[in-house]
A and B are shown apart, each in its own frame.
Chain A
Amino acid sequence: SQTIHQWPATLVQPVGSPLSLECTVEGTSNPNLYWYRQAAGRGLQLLFYSVGIGQISSEVPQNLSASRPQDRQFILGSKKLLLSDSGFYLCAWSPTDRVEQYFGPGTRLTVT
């Protein structure tokens, strides 16, 4: 069966510091991968998605970036965090031939 991992689970970072969040998927190959951000009590905002290694599409212009160095690895990063980057970051995957998405446990980021 397929599983999706995210780490760390929680993170507190000062303004201006760098960020690296990692997401890995097991039990499938060539998945579509997605990064979302969810502010407290709000909906899901799609940040990036990827259909293959090195292929990244950005949905929202911001100071975040994403990379997909391996087929089942998706990384979200920033060179300098802003206070507004605080939130719940969710990674998701979907099979290439289906549209439903499966979410990881998420990372709660607090920028102080």
Chain B
Amino acid sequence: QSVLTQPPSVSGAPGQRVTISCTGGSSNIGTGYDVHWYQQLPGAAPKLLIHGNTNRPAGVPDRFSGSKSGASASLAITGLLAEDEADYYCQSYDSGLSAWVFGGGTKVTVL
């Protein structure tokens, strides 16, 4: 059971918009720690997609965007492409555990 809760899967047709939620609690996201997002393509290492809730590293398309409100965060993918099929993980810090924590991951399927 992950400290951060994500839906196991989301799907959408090419060109559509999908969102992935990441719900935490009072010892992590809710207490103000930033949320970061990673994309893991099949068979590959995770790649940083969004950091500091809303910031895209260089090279990440602006189709990917992040937001945070209260104890939750979201990742949105607009203009869905076949190459976006991957697992997506949110990550934050938990002060109660004194540990970095990840969500359980969300598999995005492009129909």
A and B: partners? no
B-binding residues in A (CB < 8 A): none
